[in-house]
Amino acid sequence: MSPYRRYIIDHTLLESPEDVKHIKKKANWYTIVDEKPYRHGYSTSYRRCLTPKKADYKLSKVHLGICGSHIVGKNIAFKIIQQGYYWPVMKQDTMKFVKKCENCQVHSSIPHSLHMKLPTLQASWTFAQ
């Protein structure tokens, strides 16, 4: 049992004082309902926390999906949050997942403009409009 889960259920902590402070602060955002962890915010609904294995499955379902929409980056995380799921490193995981997707790497749009300095505009008179 993780220290977070143990603290939420029993309010017991066996870690060092520095870890206790960190765990207490983080654990306020989580609750256990029917033995399943949920995260909540001030104004957000409860979101079911997923294990890494289930998170990977959910990522592949949303990214590849029935129609294979191949949405990228934060949009995947936003869509998963809308469906009521959460895990702590979801944005980083979505970025990694898209980098591994071969279709996204081959068929994504590439900017063709050259890198150059932006020209500076100078006013001919002070406070000129």
Give yes or no for a contact between 62 and 99, defined as CB atoms under 8 angstroms apart.
no
Rounding to the nearest 10 degrees, give the CA dihedral for residues 7, 12, 17, 23.
0
Contact string 24-63 vs Zn ion (x = CB under 5 A): ----------------------------------------
CB of 79 to Zn ion, least distance (A): 14
CB of 51 to Zn ion, least distance (A): 23
CB of 101 to Zn ion, least distance (A): 3
The one-letter amino acid code at 17 reads P
Give yes or no for a contact between 7 and 13, defined as CB atoms under 8 angstroms apart.
yes
Please report whether residue 101 would count as binding Zn ion according to CB under 5 A. Answer: yes
Q: By C-beta, is 50 or 76 nearer to Zn ion?
A: 76
Contact string 58-97 vs Zn ion (x = CB under 5 A): ------------x---------------------------
Binding residue count for Zn ion, defined by CB under 5 A:
4
Burial per residue of 68-92, b for 16 or more beta-carbon CB atoms within 10 angstroms, e otherwise: eeeebeeebbebbeeeebbbeebee
The binding site for Zn ion (CB under 5 A) comprises 70, 101, 103-104
